[in-house]
Structure 1
Amino acid sequence: MKTKQARAAMAPPAFRGVARRHLGELLEELAPRWEARCESVRHERRQRARRRQAGAGPKYELVFTDRLLAALVHLRTGLTTRPPA
């Protein structure tokens, strides 16, 4: 994420009080755990070792950083991901 984009992402009231340094530390701490959890789930589903290289296959629509930001917004504002029907 570029600096200008990071500043824009941190501008909404949902992120006030969260220092960029703290967010970076949170990303560094949680990203390896998230990747390990995802790989563990995939391994259990396959019930064998992977056949393709890591990173092959379908890509997530949101990378981990974006997922973390969405989770923080949800926790701070209580917003849902879908508009009401």
Structure 2
Amino acid sequence: KTWEIRNTGSCPWGRGYWLVFVSNDQMGAESRVVVPETAPGDTAQVSVTLTAPAAAGEYRSDWQMQVNDDRRFGSSFYTVVVVEG
């Protein structure tokens, strides 16, 4: 899954900025991924590799931005994977 995320703040994103898993189904993804350097007003492409479960159902994975001091910021966002049975 790839999200395009806009830096709407006044500080650039760089070293120490992460996209982190926060709730529901992690689906085998890393718990955090590096966010590329992104200036205020610019966008970044951030990807996580998800593996759909074998069992039929609807699976949701929630993520949020975090800075190196473990402080999350901004709204969380998610993706839904549907496995047909």
Q: Specify which structure has the higher proportion of strand.
A: 2
Task: Using structure 2 for the length normalisation, give the TM-score.
Answer: 0.26
Q: Specify which structure has the higher proportion of helix.
A: 1
Task: Using structure 1 for the length normalisation, give the TM-score.
Answer: 0.26
Indicate the structure whose relative CO is greater, using CA pairs within 8 Å and at least 6 residues apart: 1
